[in-house]
Amino acid sequence: MVKKLVILKNITKTYYTGKVAYQVLKGISLEVEEGEFLAIMGASGSGKSTLLNIIGLLDKPDSGIYIFDGQEVNQLTKKELAYLRNRKIGFVFQAFYLVPWATALENVLLPLLYRGKINKEDEKKAVELLKRLRLEKRINAKPNELSGGEQQRVAIARALITNPKLLLADEPTGNLDSKSSQEVMNIFKELNENGITIIMVTHDPEIADFAKKIKIIKDGTFIKE
């Protein structure tokens, strides 16, 4: 039997803007198995980003149960959540979010800072990752010297340096031209084939097609396939 990495049961989340309550998630249930490549699609405002925040342990649901890698996470402290994020989850964002003053290599090593020491092996590993993503010539470049596609590849390297079980991607190709998008998606596909579970949020059907499975979110719930 394949292990379930993410189990969401009846998740709700409400935001308050001023006095107006705005229920973003209205009872979401989802199960993601290890090795899956899931694309979540939806228009803007559908709640897909909020869902990703919850899956990525950046936000907590108002109600419902979330079991991540066999551990119920609702009751975990901030510190424990930070630990889980650091060890088991990798993030890739639309706007890359590279630290502007650090080089590509340094950006890749950033997650390890919160594990304590960064040693020579870590550096070697980061260089290898960058090489694998065909960035060997850009190791010491600053983000503003890199193209969009290159920046996103650095971000992917940063997500992979911790050997995460789950890779979360939020519109990873949103800021890229089509050639770079193809490149990034091919990397994702390859990573998934090597065993990493990927959950990706997008509104682009072409990109979603790279995934093994597609779910569509609308007004805070999944539309039945």
The residues binding another protein (CB under 8 A) are 44, 49-50, 52-53, 56, 58-59, 78-79, 82-83, 85-87, 91, 93-95, 97, 99-102, 105-106, 109-111, 113-115, 117-119, 123, 158, 162, 170-171, 174
Minimal distance, residue 19 CB to another protein, in Å: 21
CB of 72 vs another protein, minimal distance in Å: 20
Quote the least distance from Cβ 223 to another protein, whole Å: 21
Residue 36 vs 106, nearer CB to another protein = 106
4/15 with CB nearer another protein? 15
Instruction: Give the residue carrying structure tokens 């260089």.
Output: 127
Q: Which of residues 50 and 180 has its CB atom nearest to another protein in the complex? A: 50
- Identify which of residues 90 and 149 has a Cβ nearer to another protein in the complex: 90
Shortest CB 217 distance to another protein, Å = 14
Specify the residue, 33 or 76, whose C-beta has the smaller distance to another protein: 76
- How far CA 194 is from CA of 35, 39, 148, 165, in Å, comes to 8, 18, 25, 11
By C-alpha distance, which of 82, 4, 157 is closest to 73? 82
Nearer to another protein, 188 or 225 (CB): 188
Residue 2 CB, nearest distance to another protein (Å)? 27
As measured in angstroms, the least distance from the Cβ of 176 to another protein is 15
Question: For 96-126, b where at least 16 C-beta lie within 10 A, e where not — what string?
Answer: bebeeeebbbbbbbebbeeeeeeeeeeeebb
